């Protein structure tokens, strides 16, 4: 497989028109981001610069992560890649294939101007350098069916665990009368695949804990009162059959067909829902539910995708000059308009540049207000395994109830600490 | 010494095979063995770790769980495959109407993509909307968590795998049945043997080599169980369907633990070899 990808990627870069100073830029391969990348590269190439930027979407593969890995192995990386999952950066940084961006002229000033210091701390690698530009986020929120929620006693989406459980009980139903529940208040995939936890445990943990880490200094730090509350809450949802264990993703969209009333999801759902919903179907977004006694802001997972410069780049300073235009106010507005994804910047809600966009897209306002309180992932080269180990215990405790939250989290903590020792 | 054309020609003729063997068999095998003594995540340089991967293997509970799961799958799948395939082959060996159509129909799942078959069966096995559970409810029975109950999920996968592959084994058994000389049955008829006596005393012993081949192919096929749990369950629930190959794949291509994945692969290859050798010895004794 890797050999095939290597050969494919090698053959991709035989562009005879590319000069030594020119830059090759890979974007995500979804059509919206391709359009965005075309706009920013065209704008750059219109003006006279030392380098031209040649853009192409990341080649098709099972996942863009796999393609990037194959490119790194085959030494066919582009100069710039703009869709790097934050959790992958540490492994590439440790492998020495990324440029430490904090060594570039003016980078840190630009970064602190764009982002809060907490974001800068979050993206810092374990060696103290910064290898990524925080570019965009897609915060995970609770989408809800307004028609169904308005029929329930609370008349609004739940904000706390108690409210969520009460509404779940009120909503659950056996619509076809076969003696089995077939209408659930919410749904999350029960598969143990590590990234599934971005849509249940992780945003709930960040919300409950005020954005706490999972791992820190090579130790698991997630076995705490917050994670126990989250596990207990989710366990009750499955125990009482408010959430189903069945895989519903292979059926017709269960949210749009009103089989479920809520789901944890990101802003990409807006385009999908607007394309496929019926005219009378109303929906909106709300914040992640928190424990009843919670105080302070409600955090969530931001699913951050960042920009990196590979060390195959011969002219990183020029790449940085290009990137400054890509993440300028103008570039960020284009990102919003073309892709409906939020730039990760601290002035998103107050900057006049973006006001018209949010007035025209009111559903995105909730995401914009949430964007102040999003967290990405901790810097760790074994992050996927950490999530996988948590997933194993999540399944045993939350879904199948064979462990208590305390036992499951203790076992997960021990397994993760053992992982760091290896 | 003069090198003649006659001396070079044989080497030239075998060189394409040797090249293929060297590149795609010998090199990967040797490289895998070397890898077992290293940590390697593909992007960083290999790091020599001695026997660490082997030590880790023997304390890896999930790997041994995956081996047991694979064994359970084989224990269900192989007998089921043989019984169903032999039964259907016996029927299709008779002079029945639409025999050609049935033979084609039973073979059809073999040529359908494994992913397509698993997606189809996922719909059948659905707890709420699945066809099988709907039928069970219609006849007054309880719904079954075909893929969500840890005690049932591997059985469900084994049944599906049998449905997918049985056509191939029907063909093999048909070939075997047609090699049994007709006069054996005529003699048995003259002696007044019953249908079951003829089956157990004549048919089964005569098709023993075919049964061995089916057991061997099913065993090797069963050991490589991957697509079904990968697509249908991801190895869950509670790791009850994670097969050895799926676990090795995860170690290699989810977490890029290439050294550890190679160690697991080597250990698993030795197990398969042992099982096949034991099977072969047993059958040789029997025949």
CA nearest to A329, candidates A316, A346, A310, A307: A346
Q: Tell me the CATH number of domain B61-112+153-286, given options 1.10.3720.10, 3.90.1300.10, 1.20.1630.10, 3.90.1010.10.
A: 1.10.3720.10
Nearest CA in chain B to A386: B255
Residue A285 makes CB contacts below 8 A (sequence gap 6+) with: A141, A142, A143, A144, A363, A366, A367
pLDDT of residue B5: 76
Please tell me if residue B239 touches chain A, with a CB cutoff of 8 Å: yes
Q: Are B127 and A244 a contacting pair at CB < 8 A? A: yes
* Degrees to nearest 5, angle at CA A167 with A207 and A239: 80
Average pLDDT over all residues of chain A: 91
Tokens representing residue B18 in the block: 């040797």
CA distances from A348 to A116, A285, A299, B185, B286 (A): 12, 18, 17, 87, 78
As a whole number of angstroms, the distance between CA B124 and CA B90 comes to 28
Mean pLDDT of A177-185: 90
Measured CA to CA, the distance from residue B68 to residue B78 in angstroms comes to: 15
B198 CB within 8 Å of a chain A CB: no
Query: Given CB atoms, is B83 within the 8 Å cutoff of chain A?
Result: no
pLDDT score of B280? 78
pLDDT of A2 > 80? The answer is no
Annotated domain spans of chain A:
2-137+303-371, 141-301+382-421
Q: Which CATH superfamily is domain A2-137+303-371 in?
A: Periplasmic binding protein-like II (3.40.190.10)
Query: CA–CA separation, A289 vs A162, rounded Å?
Result: 9
Please tell me the distance from the alpha carbon of residue A319 to that of residue B188, in angstroms, as a whole number. Answer: 87
Q: Of the candidates A135, A93, A174, which has an alpha carbon nearest to the alpha carbon of residue A371? A: A135
Give the pLDDT confidence score for residue B44 in this predicted structure.
84
Angle at A21 between CA A19 and CA A26, to 5 degrees: 85
* pLDDT at A191 (0 to 100): 84
- For chain B, percent of residues with pLDDT exceeding 70: 98
Alpha-carbon distance A193 to B194, whole Å? 56
- Residue A80 pairs in a beta bridge with A25, A309
Q: Which residues share a beta bridge with A56?
A: A26
What are the tokens at B10? 């044989």
Interchain CB distance below 8 Å, B238 and A250: no
Q: What is the pLDDT of residues A370-392, one digit of tens each?
A: 999 999 999 998 899 999 999 99
In this complex, do A190 and B147 lie within 8 Å of one another by their Cβ atoms?
Answer: no
- Interface of A to B at Cβ within 8 Å reads 1-2, 69, 72-73, 91-92, 94-95, 97, 178-180, 182, 190-194, 244-247, 250-251, 382, 384-385, 388, 392, 395-396, 399-400, 402, 422
Q: Does B56 touch chain A (CB under 8 A)?
A: yes
- Among all chains, which residue has been given the structure tokens 């068999």? B25
Closest CA to B35 of B265, B247, B250: B265
* Res A237: pLDDT: 96
pLDDT value, residue A149? 96
Tell me the two tokens of residue B250: 């995860």
Tokens 């990967």 found at: B28
- Residue B43 contacts A where some CB pair is shorter than 8 Å: yes
- For the cut 60, the answer to whether the pLDDT of residue B102 exceeds it is yes
Q: Which long-range contacts (CB under 8 A, 24 or more apart) does A344-347 make?
A: A344/A114, A344/A115, A344/A119, A344/A134, A344/A135, A344/A136, A344/A137, A344/A302, A344/A304, A344/A371, A344/A374, A345/A114, A345/A115, A346/A114, A346/A115, A346/A116, A346/A119, A346/A372
Residue corresponding to tokens 């709907």: B134
With CB atoms and an 8 Å threshold, state whether A422 touches B56: yes
Taking contacts as CB-CB distances below 8 angstroms, the residues of chain A near B65 are: none
At residue A190, the pLDDT reads 87
Q: Tell me the H-state helices in chain B.
A: 5-21, 27-35, 52-58, 61-92, 99-111, 114-125, 131-138, 153-178, 182-190, 195-198, 204-206, 208-223, 227-232, 244-249, 258-286
Average pLDDT of span B134-154: 92
B191 touches chain A (CB under 8 A): no
Min distance A333 CA to chain B CA atoms (Å): 35
Mean pLDDT for all residues in chain B? 90
User: Scanning every residue of chain B, which has its alpha carbon at the shortest distance from the alpha carbon of A397?
Assistant: B238
Tell me: pLDDT of B129 over 60: yes
Cβ A285 vs Cβ A203: under 8 Å: no
Give the closest of A92, A191, A251 to B129, CB-based: A251
CB contact under 8 A, A245 and B127: yes
Mutate to test the interface with B, among A88, A194, A246 (most CBs of B within 10 A): A246
Angle at A144 between CA A138 and CA A147, to 5 degrees: 145
The answer to whether residue A10 scores a pLDDT higher than 60 is: no
Q: B24: which DSSP letter?
A: I
Fold equal for A2-137+303-371 and A141-301+382-421: yes
Q: Is the pLDDT of residue A277 over 90?
A: yes
Cβ within 8 Å, pair B43-A180: no
B207 and chain A in contact, CB less than 8 A: no
CA A353 – CA A333 distance, rounded (Å): 7
Let me know if B139 is exposed, middle or buried by CB neighbors in 10 A (0-12, 13-18, 19+): exposed
C-alpha B243/C-alpha B246 separation (Å) is 5
Class of domain A141-301+382-421 as given by CATH: alpha beta
CA distance to partner chain B, nearest, from residue A99 (Å): 15
Q: Which residues of A touch B235 (CB under 8 A)?
A: 192
User: Does residue A18 register a pLDDT over 70?
Assistant: no
Shortest CA distance to A148 belongs to which of A253, A262, A241, A251? A262
The CA dihedral of A391, A396, A401, A404, to the nearest 10 degrees, is: -80
Q: Which residue has the tokens 């619509």?
A: A175
Which residue in B42, B127, B236 is closest to A246 by CB distance? B127
| Whether the predicted pLDDT of A3 surpasses 60 | no
Locate the chain B residue with the closest alpha carbon to A62: B253
- Whether A386 contacts A396, CB under 8 Å: no
Whether A212 and A206 have beta carbons less than 8 Å apart is answered as: yes
Average pLDDT rounded to a whole number, residues A98-106: 94
pTM: 0.86
């Amino acid at each position: 497989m890797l050999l095939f990808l290597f050969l494919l990627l090698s053959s991709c870069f035989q562009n005879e028109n590319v000069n030594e100073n020119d830059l090759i830029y890979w974007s995500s391969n979804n059509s919206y981001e391709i359009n965005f990348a075309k706009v920013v590269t065209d704008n750059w190439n219109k003006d006279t610069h030392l380098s031209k930027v040649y853009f192409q979407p990341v080649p098709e593969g099972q996942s863009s992560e796999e393609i990037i890995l194959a490119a790194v192995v085959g030494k066919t990386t582009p100069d710039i890649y703009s869709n790097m999952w934050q959790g992958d950066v540490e492994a590439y940084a440790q492998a020495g294939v990324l440029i430490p961006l904090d060594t570039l002229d003016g980078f840190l000033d630009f970064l602190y101007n764009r982002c809060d210091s907490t974001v800068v701390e979050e993206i810092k690698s374990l060696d103290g350098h910064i290898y990524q530009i925080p570019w965009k986020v897609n915060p995970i929120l609770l989408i809800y069916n307004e028609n169904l929620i308005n029929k329930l006693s609370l008349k609004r989406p739940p904000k706390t665990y108690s409210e969520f459980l009460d509404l779940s009980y009120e909503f659950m139903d056996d619509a076809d009368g076969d003696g089995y529940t077939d209408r659930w208040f919410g749904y999350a995939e029960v598969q143990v695949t590590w990234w599934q936890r971005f849509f249940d445990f992780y945003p709930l943990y960040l919300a409950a804990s005020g954005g706490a880490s999972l791992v820190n200094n090579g130790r698991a730090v997630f076995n705490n009162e917050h994670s126990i509350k989250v596990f207990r809450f989710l366990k009750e949802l499955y125990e009482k059959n408010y959430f189903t264990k069945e895989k519903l993703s292979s059926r017709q969209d269960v949210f749009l067909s009103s089989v479920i009333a809520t789901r944890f999801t990101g802003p990409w759902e807006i385009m999908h829902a607007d394309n496929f919903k019926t005219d009378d179907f109303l929906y909106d977004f709300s914040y992640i539910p928190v424990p009843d006694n919670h105080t302070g802001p409600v955090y969530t997972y931001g699913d951050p995708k960042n920009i990196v410069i590979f060390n195959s780049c011969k002219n990183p300073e020029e790449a940085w000059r290009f990137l400054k235009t890509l993440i300028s106010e103008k570039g960020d507005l284009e990102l919003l308009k073309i892709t409906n994804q939020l730039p990760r910047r601290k002035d998103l809600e107050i900057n006049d540049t973006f006001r018209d966009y949010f007035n025209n897209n009111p559903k995105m306002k909730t995401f914009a207000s949430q964007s102040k309180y999003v967290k990405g992932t901790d810097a760790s080269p074994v992050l996927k395994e950490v999530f996988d180990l948590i997933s194993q215990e999540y399944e045993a405790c939350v879904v199948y109830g064979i462990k208590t939250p305390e036992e499951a989290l203790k076992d997960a903590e021990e397994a993760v600490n053992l992982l760091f020792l290896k | 010494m003069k090198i003649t054309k006659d001396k070079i020609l044989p080497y030239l003729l075998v060189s394409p095979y040797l090249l293929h063997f060297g590149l795609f068999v010998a090199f990967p095998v040797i490289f895998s063995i070397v890898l077992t003594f290293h940590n390697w995540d593909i992007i960083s340089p290999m790091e020599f770790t001695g026997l660490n991967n082997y030590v880790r293997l023997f304390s890896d509970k999930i790997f041994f769980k995956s081996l047991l799961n694979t064994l359970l799958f084989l224990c269900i799948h192989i007998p089921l495959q043989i019984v169903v395939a032999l039964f259907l082959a016996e029927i299709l060996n008779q002079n029945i109407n639409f025999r050609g159509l049935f033979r084609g129909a039973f073979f059809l799942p073999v040529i359908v993509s494994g992913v397509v078959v698993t997606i189809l069966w996922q719909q059948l096995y659905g707890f709420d909307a699945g066809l099988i559970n709907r039928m069970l409810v219609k006849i007054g029975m309880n719904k079954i968590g075909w893929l969500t109950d840890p005690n049932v999920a591997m059985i469900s996968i084994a049944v599906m795998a049998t449905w997918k592959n049985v056509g191939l084994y029907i063909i093999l058994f048909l070939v075997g049945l047609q090699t049994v000389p007709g006069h054996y049955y005529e003699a048995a008829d003259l002696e007044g043997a019953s249908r079951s006596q003829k089956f157990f005393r004549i048919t089964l012993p005569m098709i023993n080599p075919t049964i061995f081949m089916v057991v061997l192919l099913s065993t090797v096929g069963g050991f490589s169980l991957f697509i079904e749990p990968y697509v249908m369950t991801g190895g869950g629930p509670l790791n009850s369907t994670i097969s050895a190959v799926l676990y090795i794949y995860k170690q290699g291509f989810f977490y890029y633990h290439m050294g550890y994945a190679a160690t697991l692969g080597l250990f698993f290859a030795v197990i398969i070899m042992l099982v096949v050798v034991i099977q072969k010895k047993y059958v040789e004794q029997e025949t």
